[in-house]
Amino acid sequence: MTNTVATPAAEAPKGQSTPLLLLLKLRTFIALIAVVVFFSLMAPNFVTVANVVIVSKHVAINAFLAIGMTFVILTGGIDLSVGAIVGLVGMVAGALVLYGVPLEMLGVVIYPNVWEVIGIALLVGTFVGFVNGLLITRMQVAPFIATLGMLYVARGTALLMSGGSTFPNLIGKPEFGNQGFPVLGAGTILGIPLSIWLLLVVAGIAAYVATKTPFGRQIYAVGGNERAATLSGVNVNRVKLTVYMVSGFCAAIAGLVVASQLVASHPASGETFEMNAIAAAVLGGTSLSGGRGTIGGTIVGAFVIGVLSDGLVMMGVSEFWQMVIKGVVIVGAVILDQMQRRIARNARLG
Amino acid sequence: MSLRKTLKTVSLGLLAGIALTASALAADGKLIVIITPSHDNPFFKQEAVGAQAKAKELGYEAAQEAVGAQAKAKELGYEAAIYSHDDDANKQNDLIDSAIAQKAAAIILDNAGADATVAAVQKAKDAGVPSFLIDREINATGIAVTQIVSNNYQGATLVAESFVEAMGEKGNFVELVGKESDTNAGVRSKGYHDVIDQYPDMKMVAQQSANWSQTEAFSKMESILQANPDVKGVISGNDTMAMGAMAALEAAGRKDVLVAGFDGSNDVRDAIIAGKIHATGLQPAFRQAQYAVELADKFLKEGKTGQPEKISMDCVLITKDNAAKLDNFALKD
């Protein structure tokens, strides 16, 4: 691979790079540098170590979702349920920490320790993704509809778990042996929050799977041309089922981090997160029609969005303008993407 | 094929069942429909429960779950149905349509917008269904039977006075505003500023909307703290945002920053007792919703409520002194 993390579009023809094409290929990275430079001039304390850490922490939550989303979009699908999974997983973790698992027949309550809480929560997220995958592969429901339905089911379930209210103070109790949940959100290694380390690990694994494994190649193959992939022996349904499970798993990580940071879980957590995740993937050069995009590009895309929203808050720009600016940037990125493809195609033909 | 047929029969049967239930209720004309914003904000939830509890006392049986409602409806003549409009005026319009279709006896409504609601309430009135508004008013009179609102402005000035006093009348502060399309967000912000702006040494260094959301308040507060490390106080348009700000301050190890909220939820009560939040304004949500049902009952029986259309209920300041008496949006004596 000659592409670095910074170049989202992987399939541009080699050896024919015009300067303009190179510029377009690097557009997300250039955009990131541009927004960072802009805010370092406009917002006080923007380029400080502490703030870079805070921004990265905020980006991490969206990046977890966006990584799973990238796999799904690479197969030509979409996962609208990830924001709702964030809420649901937070509520599951909150309920386990506060109330444990009541075994009514035996009249006892089992309080799982923090690792078990995290494990169960991750399983719940993965299971929701599994159901999405089954609906899409076995019942032939379009991904948009299947995951839209799941969005409502998961959000509704999250609200039902507490009747709509918050599970507060998820600190656990020494007598139950379930303390430590807030560490995931507040803990640090070498001064860097755990969620950022976690993002490095997840992004590293995801990039490796996407580029270096047969499964990764199968994902691109399914998204590029599903029929050709089937004919060449790829188990398309298995690939699709797996990417939705990966997306659910990634959403569960984000849900755990959000609940742990707030030391509380709120059933409305994660509302519209799916849109930010899709935006990060698209901004990073992932094509919604599938088969094109990279994990590295998505991470850069997530950073562009994160830097924009944090920077605008620090500048004191009103919420309304923040929304307008975000929308313009996303659509602008897609326009550049189309431009790049056109130029690359012409270069190839000419 | 046969499976599909069975499914079809079953669903038709279910539809018929629902229609029958609806018409049975309609025949009695004893359904009270309660429409509030999303129940995931503890304040609104209490409002729904408050109205329900009163409905029960008065003989209207309320039930949250569809199954329970059906069973109870047979036992008693009355029923209360609860819906939420999620702050979506369009959805609210649909809910009011269905309340009219069900020939509800009355609608208790915490509305989705001061202007956007007027037409919907008028429509209900034209169809002979009286509306009783709680918590938020609409920009029209003579359409709803009553509009019981908590005096958000008065409550906000109480919170702001206590906030200013605790800050020693000076220092940098941050304001987290609610959803800017919601009337109460603006009224509370005005109440805060009408008090705070009188003190020249109180300086607002950042003002952001966190859309009533805890998650959003958390991340925005973290960014604001980076831009303005010298913040000494946070005044927030509601309790959930105050909780988000509190979590961000804790994550930054800032124990010196004062936080104030609004609503009087149990979560913030506990934080006040623990010394993490300074004060909040209690809206009498429970009492308000109950009062609306009482007035609805009176109106249905006597044709009038005997009260003016606009009724204002004062808010109460909650600090460490009285926090222990607060439970589910009501103060115990």
What pLDDT is stored for residue B209 in this prediction?
Answer: 93
What pLDDT is stored for residue B32 in this prediction?
Answer: 82
Residue A104 has what DSSP assignment?
T
B168: region left, alpha or beta (phi > 0 left; psi from -120 to 50 alpha): left
Task: Give the span between the Cα atoms of A111 and A247, in whole angstroms.
Answer: 28
* CA-to-CA dists, residue A217 to A5, A27, A66, A238, B120, angstroms: 18, 25, 19, 14, 55
B228: region left, alpha or beta (phi > 0 left; psi from -120 to 50 alpha): beta
Query: What is the value of pTM for the model shown?
Result: 0.77
CA A11, A15, A21, A22 dihedral sign is positive
Cβ atoms B327, B266 nearer than 8 A? yes
User: What residue of B is the nearest CA neighbor of A260?
Assistant: B247
What pLDDT is stored for residue A335 in this prediction?
Answer: 86
Which is the CATH superfamily of the domain at B2-144? Response regulator (3.40.50.2300)
The CATH number of whichever domain residue A130 belongs to comes to 1.10.3470
CA A147, A150, A154, A160 dihedral sign is positive
What pLDDT is stored for residue A67 in this prediction?
Answer: 97
Closest CB from A46, A54, A159 relative to B222: A54
Cα Rg of chain A (Å, integer) = 21
Indicate the helix (H) or strand (E) that contains A298. helix A295-315
* B231 CA: distance to closest CA in chain A (Å): 13
The token pair that represents B250 in the structure block: 């804790």
**Residue A71 belongs to a domain:** yes
Q: Does B41 touch chain A (CB under 8 A)?
A: yes
Which residues of chain B form CATH 3.40.50.2300? 2-144, 152-283+321-327
The contacts of residue A341 (CB under 8 Å, 6+ apart) are A9
Q: Does B48 touch chain A (CB under 8 A)?
A: no
Task: Give the span between the Cα atoms of B314 and B305, in whole angstroms.
Answer: 20
| C-beta atoms of B227 and A185 within 8 A | no
Among residues A127, A134, A297, the alpha carbon closest in space to that of A206 is found at A297
* B298 CA: distance to closest CA in chain A (Å): 30
**CATH numeric code, B152-283+321-327:** 3.40.50.2300
A132-146, A173-187, B64-78: which has the minimum mean pLDDT? B64-78
Chain B interface, mutation test: which of A39, A46, A52, A54, most B Cβ atoms within 10 Å?
A54
Considering only residues A178 and B123, tell me which one the structure prediction assigns the higher pLDDT. Answer: B123
Beta bridge partners of A107: none
* B247 CA: distance to closest CA in chain A (Å): 6
**Residue A159 belongs to a domain:** yes
Cβ atoms A329, A312 nearer than 8 A? no
**Residue A107 belongs to a domain:** yes
- For residue A161, the enclosing domain spans 33-349
**Residue A20 belongs to a domain:** no
Among residues A153, A157, A124, the alpha carbon closest in space to that of A141 is found at A153
**Per-residue pLDDT tens digits for A254-270:** 999 999 998 888 888 89
The contacts of residue A242 (CB under 8 Å, 6+ apart) are A133, A215
**Per-residue pLDDT tens digits for A135-156:** 999 999 999 999 999 999 999 9
B217: region left, alpha or beta (phi > 0 left; psi from -120 to 50 alpha): alpha
* CA-to-CA dists, residue B122 to A118, A167, B83, B301, angstroms: 51, 39, 19, 21
- Written as one letter, the residue type at B46 is Q
Beta bridge partners of B261: B280
Tell whether the model's pLDDT for residue B20 goes beyond 60.
Answer: no
**Residue A117 belongs to a domain:** yes
**Residue A146 belongs to a domain:** yes
| C-beta atoms of B227 and A186 within 8 A | no
Task: Give the span between the Cα atoms of B236 and B159, in whole angstroms.
Answer: 10
DSSP B88-139: -HHHHHHHHHHHHHTT-SEEEE--S-TTTTHHHHHHHHHTT--EEEESS--S
Considering only residues B182 and B204, tell me which one the structure prediction assigns the higher pLDDT. Answer: B204
| C-beta atoms of A314 and B223 within 8 A | yes
**Residue A47 belongs to a domain:** yes
* CA-to-CA dists, residue B94 to B85, B86, B129, angstroms: 9, 12, 15
Terminal-to-terminal C-alpha distance of chain B? 66
Among residues B317, B226, B144, the alpha carbon closest in space to that of A55 is found at B226
Considering only residues A111 and A152, tell me which one the structure prediction assigns the higher pLDDT. Answer: A152
How many structural domains does chain A have? 1
Residue in this structure with the two tokens 């600190």, named with its chain if needed: A171
Considering only residues A198 and B292, tell me which one the structure prediction assigns the higher pLDDT. Answer: A198
**Per-residue pLDDT tens digits for B229-279:** 999 999 999 999 999 999 999 989 999 999 999 988 888 999 999 999 999
**Residue A277 belongs to a domain:** yes
For A49-172, strand residue ranges (E) read 101-103, 108-110
